[in-house]
Amino acid sequence: MLTFENVSFSYRPDHTVLNQVTFDLPAGSCTLLAGRNGSGKSTVVQLSNGLLRPTFGEIRLRSKATSAMAMHEIVRDVAVMLQHPGDQITERTVGREIKVGLDALGLDRTEARITAALQLVDLTHRASDHPYDLEPSQRKLVTLAATVAMQTSVVMLDEPLVGLGPAEIRIVERVVQRMRQEGRVVLFVAHDILQTWHLADRVIVLHQGRVTLDRTMTGGLTPSAVFDAGGLPPPASVRAAASLATLTS
């Protein structure tokens, strides 16, 4: 559905952020994109919907090169929730924040779609409020609702769980599961790998500009393999389990 082929990207000539990155997000897949801070996860997300364009290489959507497509064509298929809600929110009410995306895509039944999207994140009662009158975590849910409401076949969520409380985390999990059931292609970025492990059916890891792991969850993939591939320090719980295994073996 969405393919990166040998995609390289630099913000500055002296620093290559992505170096010949290749992966394919198949129909119906739900992918965890992991990697250290600064490994290029958000860059991948922004390349996917045309906010950024590759320095080299090709991104294909439904087998068509996106270099030949304007951003308004790409976003019909790829919706993105940015890492920081402040980079995404432009409107003066929560309802309008959902509406602006629907209008951009020319979708009908706008009011019903806004209500449905806000129901998904339990925020229908805040539709008329200014986004900045909401808690930061609720603003994140507004950007999630706006992204999901666009009904695109590909949805990319950049750190959707950061800053959320337990009840809000359950809401995001519910939304992701629902998108999976609908057969949408989902990719989410998460630095807490253990917390999000159960949500994904495949994992891609970025390290030093390259894809160092790209595997489905079947076949015994472990979080430790992901930590290793990403040069990530395993959390204390994983270290403790490993040393227990050594003691008992």
Ligand X SMILES: Nc1ncnc2c1ncn2[C@@H]1O[C@H](COP(=O)(O)OP(=O)(O)OP(=O)(O)O)[C@@H](O)[C@H]1O
Q: Would the CA dihedral through 225, 25, 105, 45 be positive or negative?
A: positive
Judged by CB under 6 A, the residue of 30, 40, 117, 188 near ligand X is: 40
C-alpha 219/C-alpha 196 separation (Å) is 18
Does residue 19 touch ligand X according to CB under 6 A?
no
- Shortest Å distance, C-beta 5 to ligand X: 19
Binding mask 165-204 for ligand X (x = CB under 6 A): --------------------------x-------------
C-alpha 189/C-alpha 43 separation (Å) is 11
Does residue 14 touch ligand X according to CB under 6 A?
no
Contacting residues for 118 by C-beta, under 8 A, at least 6 apart? 94, 95, 98, 124, 126, 127, 145
The SS3 assignment for 20 reads strand
Q: Which residue's CB is nearer to ligand X, number 51 or number 221?
A: 51
Judged by CB under 6 A, the residue of 26, 38, 136, 231 near ligand X is: 38
Q: Which residue's CB is nearer to Mg ion, number 45 or number 175?
A: 45
C-alpha 26/C-alpha 139 separation (Å) is 30
Judged by CB under 6 A, the residue of 29, 31, 43, 138 near ligand X is: 43
Does residue 31 touch ligand X according to CB under 6 A?
no
CA neighbor of 211 nearest in space, from 1, 4, 50, 53: 4
Does residue 88 touch ligand X according to CB under 6 A?
no
Q: How would you class 72 by CB atoms within 10 Å of its CB: exposed for 0-12, middle for 13-18, buried for 19 or more?
A: exposed
Does residue 35 touch ligand X according to CB under 6 A?
yes
Q: Which residue's CB is nearer to Mg ion, number 15 or number 125?
A: 15
Name the site residues for ligand X (rule: CB under 6 A): 11, 17, 35, 37-43, 83, 191
